[in-house]
Amino acid sequence: MPVIVRPSGPIPARIMIVGEAPGADEERYGEPFCGYSGKELTKMLHEAGINRSECFITNVARERPLGNDIANFIAFKKKDRTSEHKPHRDKWVKQPILSGVDLLYKEIEMVKPNVIIALGNVPLWALTGLWGILKWRGSMLYDDRNKVKVVPTIHPASVLRQWDQRALAVLDLKRAARFRNGEPYPIPKWNFKVRPSFMDVVSVLEDLQQSLHCSDGIKLSFDIETRMGHIACAGISWTLTDGICIPLMCVENKDGYWNADEEAALVLLLSKILTHPNAQVVGQNLLYDSQYTYRWWHFKPNVHQDTMISHHTCFSGLKKSLDFQSSMYCDYHRYWKDDSKDWDPKMGEDQLWVYNLEDCVRTQECADAEAANIVAMKLEETHAFQQSMFWPVLETMIRGVKVDLKARRGVLQP
């Protein structure tokens, strides 16, 4: 008979922690997270300002899978399915998972937590239906049934295998700690203009142009989406909540969103704004965007800060994608980068345009946080040099590099 590992902790509890399944130590002592990964969890919780004694701790599966391999309970490939596997959400799972999920929701109703910390893929999936802990870690989510706040993070066993993930896990635990008293998520009220009329865009851009004339500097976040080697839309935001997406391509009209005269007028206005000496243009990996604006619109934005460079200056060993930066710096973070991958032309373009503007405002928030980090870490000189390299690199990318094909062939041939 399998050994059933029961949960531990107070009832009710403000914080609930959910793991995947017991390990050998948990099976031996009958308590969740009492082995090496449990000790590391206790340390990380302490660093995040959470006492383990205040948490109700449980697992999705209550018995240990063979070889500590959760794949013995979940068929991740079609060939691994057996008569013991039953469908649940988008997975095929065995009874220990099915009964564990049912029990987990009963525990949530009993414990009444304000926030649930999901450690790893299985509790993330059991609570929200999502999969991919490295994508979703740090996101501010809700469980499907009780609408309790869920903050997923990396399992401590994974941290022990890959130590550089530890700081991220502690950061996520600190985020969860913010909501132990029932505070609401700080969901921003975005004021996005999508599907604008010609006069909508003209009005916004002319107002921005006038503001630039009357200012010493305005930070503008800029981002484009591309399709088939062309600019599909361009987004610009001027606060952490306000932005406008200027569509160019549109599946609803094969000739484009604007007629030729309208598009020319808007590109001219956009160029005047983005090249204005008082425009402090920020963006994520703006080398990509600037190549496109130069190739198709014949101007280079007045780039003030590339967040990818700023983040690299502070933490050169970490990932540099925008969603990763958002998980570190944004007050409200929920992974969104699949929104463009899931876009279907049959749905219309609105989802892509909102995605474009979300990139803009999140980039601007990251830029502000990174600028403060640069000062706090006394990296101003290093950062200035790194940002200054943007321009020669852009020029090289636009011009290209001459290659002596004859010499290269000589090197490659034995």
Least Cα distance to 48 among 186, 185, 180, 184 occurs for 180
Residues with Cβ < 8 Å from 247, sequence gap 6 or more?
A: 194, 195, 196, 232, 233, 257, 349, 353
Dist. CA 387–CA 306, nearest whole Å = 7
What three-state secondary structure class fits 234?
A: strand
- What is the pTM for the complete model shown? 0.92
Share of the chain above pLDDT 70, in %: 97
Residue that wins the pLDDT comparison between 407 and 283: 283
Task: Identify the sign of the CA torsion 379, 383, 386, 389.
Answer: negative
Rounded mean pLDDT, 289-310: 97
Q: What is the pLDDT of residue 342?
A: 65
Structure tokens at 288: 């990509």
What is the identity of the amino acid at 387? Q
- Looking at the chain, which residues constitute the CATH 3.40.470.10 domain(s)? 15-177
What phi, psi does 94 have (nearest 5°)?
-90, 175
Given a cut of 80, whether residue 201 has pLDDT beyond it is: yes
Could you count the other beta carbons within 10 Å of the beta carbon of residue 217?
12
b (16+ CB within 10 A) / e for 325-360: bbbbbbeebbbbeeeeeebeeeeebeebbbbbbbbb
Per-residue pLDDT tens over the stretch 12-52: 999 999 999 999 999 898 899 998 999 999 999 999 999 99
- Looking at the chain, which residues constitute the CATH 3.30.420.10 domain(s)? 191-399
Average pLDDT, the chain: 94
Rounded mean pLDDT, 190-217: 96
Dist. CA 209–CA 240, nearest whole Å = 19
Per-residue pLDDT tens over the stretch 354-400: 999 999 999 999 999 999 999 999 999 999 999 999 999 999 999 98
Please give the span between the terminal C-alpha atoms of the chain, in angstroms, as a whole number. 65
Could you count the other beta carbons within 10 Å of the beta carbon of residue 79?
6
Residues with Cβ < 8 Å from 1, sequence gap 6 or more?
A: none
Dist. CA 350–CA 309, nearest whole Å = 30
b (16+ CB within 10 A) / e for 280-298: bbbbbbbbebbeebbeebe
Q: What is the pLDDT of residue 343?
A: 64
Dist. CA 285–CA 411, nearest whole Å = 33
Q: In what order do the strands lie in the sheet with 91-93?
A: 74-75, 91-93, 86-88
- 3.30.420.10, 2.30.40.10, 3.40.50.1110, 3.30.1370.10: CATH of 191-399: 3.30.420.10
Q: What is the pLDDT of residue 409?
A: 83
Given a cut of 90, whether residue 6 has pLDDT beyond it is: yes
Rounded mean pLDDT, 60-65: 95
Dist. CA 20–CA 164, nearest whole Å = 21
Least Cα distance to 390 among 236, 283, 238 occurs for 283
Structure tokens at 248: 């160019």
Given a cut of 60, whether residue 414 has pLDDT beyond it is: no
Least Cα distance to 122 among 154, 84, 165 occurs for 154
Given a cut of 60, whether residue 115 has pLDDT beyond it is: yes
Given a cut of 80, whether residue 134 has pLDDT beyond it is: yes
Rounded mean pLDDT, 51-66: 96
Domain 15-177: CATH class, spelled out: alpha beta
